[in-house]
Structure 1
Amino acid sequence: MIRVLSAAALATVQDLGRTGGLNLGVGTSGAMDPLALAGGNILLRNEENAAAIEIPVFPFKVRFERSTVFAVTGADCAGRLDEAPVLPWWVHRAEAGQVLSLSLPKQTTWRATRAYLCIADGIDVPAVLGSRSTQLRGSFGGHEGRPLRDGDELPTGRSNDRAASGFGLVPPGLALPLEADGMPAVRVLPAAEYDCFSNSSHDALWSTAWKITAQSDRYGYRLAGRELNPLRPLELRSHGIVPGVIQVPHGGQPIIQMRDAQPSGGYPKIGTVIEADLWRLGQAPIGSSVRFIRCSWDEALDASADIRRWLANARRLVELHCREGRGR
């Protein structure tokens, strides 16, 4: 068990998400950076979908009520276990009573802003509709369907004997960099209403920087940039949407649907951020800017293959380390 000593805001329990419910009006939820969650679970040799704590606001502090191993992935938050420094993307051992403190993320080369506290065997909250992820809009899943508060106690799984401390992984932000003209970028597929927008809007979409405004959250990222205008007024019935869809409301400033997005909407869709790049958006700081790179369906599939290779290589390295440790 771990006890939350200080939770700034919006820290939640998340796994890889709630699938199969979009047709019933149930969003996916899940980690904004699924690669960070997956990497932490690989490091700890957890089940692939073990739940962790997603931390978007700092400082954050927890106390371990029993000995275990853990990893902090995502952002480098200058972590400290009592007074000892905690490396990001690294496996550490905590004894009962020790306190982990996470501070504001450092300005690292991989530009991450969310941290994930992964524990051996995961955070053991009840699964709701097949997932332990917190769905804030519906107030279910996770820990009582809400952000964590000071004093919350979170049960953890039985500390597994498979994990070993003292090793780590290269963050995907370093292993899989993506930029356009020196600026962080994500790849985008043109969407259903792309051809309904003007040529100047197409040029703006691909050639300019888009600022992530303060009105952004787990539901959606509201962007600011050049106005995107349809060739003629568009009135659409509400229809199914998924995380990554870029909608353009009447004001002409796009919104990217994120992990807690509603499963339907009626704004025209100019593009969709490919699934393989959603983790990059999940780590993008509020107030920063991002570029869109147009890609093809085949290029999107290649990007997904790159993600699978990174995960497979991470698993292989962890297994090699553990086998070598047992052989000593």
Structure 2
Amino acid sequence: MIEILTGSSLNTIQDFGRPHAMAMGVAQGGAMDRLALSHGNLLLDNPVDAAGIEIVFFPFRVRFHAETSFAATGAACPATLDDLKLPRDWAITARPGQTLTLRAPEQGARAYLTLRGGLDMPPVLGARSTDLKGGFGGLEGRALQKGDRLSCLAASTLRLPAAGYGLTRPCPLPPADGTRIRVLPAAEHDVFTPESLQTFHSAAWTLTPSANRMGYRLEGQNVLKLSRPLSLFSHGILPGTVQVPPAGQPIIQMMDANTCGGYPKIATVIAPDLRLLSQTVVGTPVHFETITRDDAVQIIRREAAELSRLATEIATLRTQLVF
């Protein structure tokens, strides 16, 4: 069992969300950086989609009330277990009474705390993720508060060396000087003026403070315009959809996005880069690069293959550890 020592309206329990429920109008939800959550779960020999804590408000502190193996992944946060400094993307076993502290990230925006077995929350619509807008999932459908106590699902004891162990290749994070986001053309891409398409693909867009789990609003020096008036009925959209409202500044739908909308769609961010966007800090330049569908498929397949290789490497490493 762990106890939350710092409350926030933003730190929530997340797994891989509810993509199967989008047809019912329920947001997909789930971890904004699935890869970081997966890495933490692999380090603990959990299912990759086991529920953990997504942390976006720092410092974040928890106290352990039982011996618990955990991993901290995602953003590069200075982390300490009592007075012991922990490397990035690291797994270790905490003793009862010890306190984990994650401080403000030096790179990236979101950290993940995973625990052996995964957090024991009742599944709602097939997932344990918190849906703040709907008020369900996670812990009573809300963000974590000071004093909350969380338990883990039953799992066999995981033997780790006293100092713990971690990844040789940490989860990639976007550089501080700009994030390159690969996109595919969306349904209304060709309805925008040639000048607007040139601007969209060549200009540096800035991530504004209007950025949350529902959407990221960008701003640039030029606005995006349609070549002709366009009236759209509300229609289905997915995380990664880049919509352009009448103000002409793009909005990227994130994991808690509505499942429908009526603004013109200029592009769709591919899944591996949507997680990079989730780790982008407010004020950072964002650049779009259009790729082909075949390119996107290959990128997604490479990421899946790399995750599979990492799982094998971690399993092999665990058998070689000296206790």
Q: TM-score, normalised by structure 1?
A: 0.94
Kindly state the Cα deviation for residue 160 of structure 1 after the two structures are TM-superposed.
3.1
Q: What is aligned with 2:266? A: 270
* Number of the residue aligned with 2:215: 220
Aligned AA for 1:88?
A: R
Letter in 2 for 1:118: T
Q: Distance in 2 between matches of 1:115 and 1:163?
A: 24
Is 2:18–2:126's contact at 8 Å kept on the other side of the alignment? yes
- Listed one character per residue, the Cα deviations across residues 202-251 of structure 1 (whole Å, up to 9, x for unaligned) are 11111011111111110000010121000012210000000000000000
Residue 184 of structure 1 is matched in structure 2 by: 179
The answer to whether structure 1 residue 172 and structure 2 residue 168 are counterparts is no
Deviations 1:186-206 (A, max 9, x none): 100000000000011111111
Distance in 2 (alpha carbons) for counterparts of 1:282 and 1:273: 12
What residue in structure 2 maps to residue 151 of structure 1? 147
**Is 2:279 the partner of 1:279?**
no
CA distance in 2, matches of 1:259, 1:8: 19
1:178 CA displacement: 8.8
Contact 2:178 2:284 in 1 (8 A): no
Residue of structure 2 in register with 1:207 after alignment: 202
Q: Following the alignment from structure 2 to structure 1, what is the Cα–Cα distance between the partners of residues 208 and 108?
A: 17
Alpha-carbon distance between aligned partners in 2 of 1:17 and 1:88, rounded to the nearest angstrom? 25
Q: CA RMSD in A?
A: 1.6
Matched-pair contact (CA < 8 Å) for 1:7–1:59: no
Aligned position for 1:61:
61
Given candidates 133, 137, 140, the residue that maps to 2:136 is: 140
SS class of match (1:147): coil
1:197 aligns with 2:192: yes
Q: Which residue in the other structure is 1:321 paired with?
A: 317
The SS at the match of 1:20 is helix
Letter in 2 for 1:82: D
Q: Tell me if 1:235 matches 2:231.
A: yes
Unpaired runs of 5+ residues, structure 2, are: none
2:40 alignment partner in structure 1:
40
Cα offsets for 1:264-297 (capped at 9, x unmatched)? 0000000000112111011111221211111000
Q: Report the AA paired with residue 255 of structure 1.
A: I
Q: Displacement, 1:19?
A: 2.0
TM-fit CA distance, 1:17: 1.1
Question: For residues 38-71 of structure 1, what are the alpha-carbon distances to aligned partners after superposition, in whole Å with 9 as ceiling and x for unaligned?
Answer: 0100111001211000001111110011001111
Which deviates more from structure 2 when the two are superposed, residues 258-267 or residues 313-322? 313-322
Alignment partners' CA distance in 2, 1:105 and 1:183: 16
Give the whole-Å Cα distance in 1 for the aligned partners of 2:75 and 2:159. Answer: 22
Whole-angstrom CA distance in 2 between matches of 1:307 and 1:121? 24
Instruction: Indicate whether 1:52 and 2:48 are aligned.
Output: no
Aligned to 2:85, the other structure's residue is in SS state strand
Q: Is residue 260 of structure 2 the alignment partner of residue 260 of structure 1?
A: no
Show the counterpart of 1:102.
102
Q: 2:90: which partner in 1?
A: 90
Instruction: Give the AA of the match of 1:190.
Output: P
SS of alignment partner, residue 213 of structure 1: strand
Corresponding position of 1:27: 27
Aligned partners of 2:179 and 2:277 also within 8 Å: no
State the alpha-carbon separation in 2 of the partners of residues 61 and 140 from structure 1: 24
* More divergent stretch after superposition (12-21 vs 236-245): 12-21
CA distance in 1, matches of 2:307, 2:83: 32
Amino acid at match of 1:171: P
Question: 5+ unaligned residues in a row in structure 1: which ranges?
Answer: none
Secondary structure of the 2:183 match is strand
> What residue is the counterpart of 1:79 in the other structure?
79
Query: CA separation in 1, counterparts of 2:139 and 2:88?
Result: 25
What residue number does 1:290 align with?
286
2:14 corresponds to 1:14: yes
Q: Report if aligned partners of 1:43, 1:163 keep a CA contact under 8 Å in 2.
A: no
Report the number of matched residues. Answer: 319
Aligned position for 1:249: 245
Secondary structure, in 3 states, of the residue corresponding to 1:6? coil
4+ residue runs of structure 1 moved beyond 3 angstroms? Answer: none
What letter corresponds to residue 145 of structure 1 in structure 2? G
- Cα gap change, 1:59/1:275 in structure 2, threshold over 3 Å: closer, same or farther? same
Are 2:300 and 1:301 aligned?
A: no
Relative to structure 1, the CA distance from residue 325 to residue 171 in structure 2 (aligned partners, 3 Å threshold; closer, same or farther) is closer
Q: What secondary structure is seen at the aligned counterpart in 2 of 1:172?
A: coil
Paired amino acid for 1:207: S
Q: Calculate the TM-score normalised by the size of structure 2.
A: 0.95
